[in-house]
Structure formats: C-alpha cells, structure tokens
Amino acid sequence: MASNPFQQATSSGSVTKPPSGGDYTSDSLFRGLAYGSAFLIIILMGYILWEIGSQALPAMQRYGLGFISGMDWNPGKEEFGILPEIWGTLYSSLLALLLGGLFGVFIAIFLTQDFIEARLAAVFRTIVELLAAIPSVVYGLWGIYVLIPALRPIAGFLHEHLGFIPLFGTSLSGPGMAPAALVLAIMILPTVAAISVDAFRRIPYKVKEAAFGMGTTRWEAILKVMLPTASSGILAALVLGFGRALGETMALAMLIGNVDQISLSIFSPGNTLASLLASNFPEAGTLEVQSLMYAALALLVITLLVNVAGLAIQQYTVRKFEGKK
C-alpha cells in the first residue's frame, strides 16, 4: 500500500514543532547582537566626528568659512584655504563616475542579458572584480609610466585643434586631471559593475519574457524594461562608486599634480582633499595639523551629503519605477 504524502507532511517533526526555549533564546541573542552592532557603528561615527572636530576647532575659530573659500595653502604665511581641493575632489570624482559608471553598467548588461554563456560571464566577472584587489600605488605607478605618456600626444592634438573648448584649454605636460580621473574610473569600475550585476539578477526572468511577448527587441527590453527596473540598484552602485572616488588618496596624490588651482581643463593639474591630507601631514606643524583636520572634516561632510543625496534619489527611483512606497 502506498504511503500517504499528506500524512507524512502533517506528522510531527523538527520543522513543524513550535519553537523551543533555546530557539527563543538564540533569536533574542541574535537580535540583541544586531541592534548592538548598529548602535556601535553610530557610536564609532560620533567618536570619529568628535575627534576630528575637536582637533579642527582651533582652525575653525581662526579661519571660519574663509577656509572653505580660500585659494592658497601656504604654511609659511599661515594662510590656508581648500576651495581648489574641493573643486578637484568633486571634478575628478564626477569625471571618474561618468566613465566608470557608464562602463560598469554596460559590463553588467553584457554579463547578465544573455550576450555570452553563463560560464564565460562568470570568468569575465571574476576578472573585473580582481581589479579591486590591485593596490592604489600600483595604479599610480601604471598611470605615471604608461597612461600619462600615452595620453600626452592625444592631449596635445585636442589642445591644438579644440583648444577653444574649456575642457581642452591646456596641454598635458605631466600629471593632471585626465590621468587621475581615468585611473579613478578603473578603480571604481569593479564596485559599480558588481552591484549592477546583482541588481539585474534580482529581476525575475519572467519580466524579460513578458517584454518579449509584447513584441520588443532585445535592446528595447533592456533599455525600456530591465534598466528602469534595476535602476535603484544601479543608483546604489553609482553612489558607492562616487564615495569610493571621493576618498581615494594614493593614486590621486601621484597623478593629479598637487597644484592649487581651479580649471575646467581635463589636462591641467589640480589637487584633492585626500591628496592634500596625505601629502602634508608628515611635515605639518601644529597650526597646519589643525587646518588639515578642518579639511578632513570638510571631506567627511561632503561624503555624507553625497550619500544622503544618493539615498534620496534612490528612494525616488524605487517609488517611480518599482512602485514601492
């Protein structure tokens, strides 16, 4: 006589039993650990802000908001300003996000939308993710000895023929914004690509099938259905990539030129807040250390504002394209 599957399903077992006292205890411990870890992160963030703010307070009282709008960093004259560094930080990060974000999303589409076999896609994804394991100083050396010499004739041609455009207003004589932004784009590429791939893979395959059933082509389904559906995850990837670009130090210190100036030309040298901190801390006096802490606080605020703005845009995108409140 065949056994009754319904009888087996209703028989008492470890799965169907009510939670035991040990289950309740372990659940409570895990919940407490999770809440404690979250609270510890808040405490750590507050401690970092307190330490940086307390050391930056003398410089804040001495220079005020003029420190933000100042153009010169001259320890000999005790004149400190970080406006060129703020410009360089945002400009280089935006250029890197434009390049790295665009290629990262294209790579995610290439790996997830059946352009290649699944095994080959896994190999390509591993290769892209390995870029994140390369140290910053190696990127910097590669930029100095390979990228800058390769870019110099291209920059000269663009400056000679399109010099009336502000983006090409100067030639590339050495380190500058373009090699720094290109290296930075390569460094954020693994972050953007990996999270974008996960965003596309979270979409049920029946969504694409429904698009094909309505008569769309492959690219119409990708651009009009898959891309908007994955937009919240892609935006999260872009925000994380932008945050990564804002804080990059060593590669930019080697490639950007460390010159305090504001220029739209992508071939002119510049400076960033992270590069300023790395370059000046070893030989800084008391007042300069206080000013550097003020600059570090400004970088922290910029990063926080970028993440808050990115979160707001992501929530708006979720409500608009995914129908979630």
For the whole model, what pTM was predicted?
Answer: 0.82
Q: Which residue has the tokens 């030129």?
A: 257
Residue bearing the bigger pLDDT, 122 or 98: 98
The H-or-E segment that residue 288 falls in is helix 286-321
Alpha helices in 11-147 (DSSP H): 21-63, 66-69, 83-112, 118-130, 136-142
pLDDT value, residue 185:
92
- pLDDT average, residue stretch 43-57: 89
Domain 62-322 falls under CATH 1.10.10.10: no
Question: Which amino acid is located at 135 in the chain?
Answer: P
Cα separation of 267 and 165, whole Å? 12
pLDDT, tens digit, 9 for 90 and up, residues 110-146 = 888 888 888 888 888 888 888 888 888 899 899 999 9
Cα separation of 80 and 74, whole Å? 6
Cβ–Cβ < 8 Å for 92, 272: yes
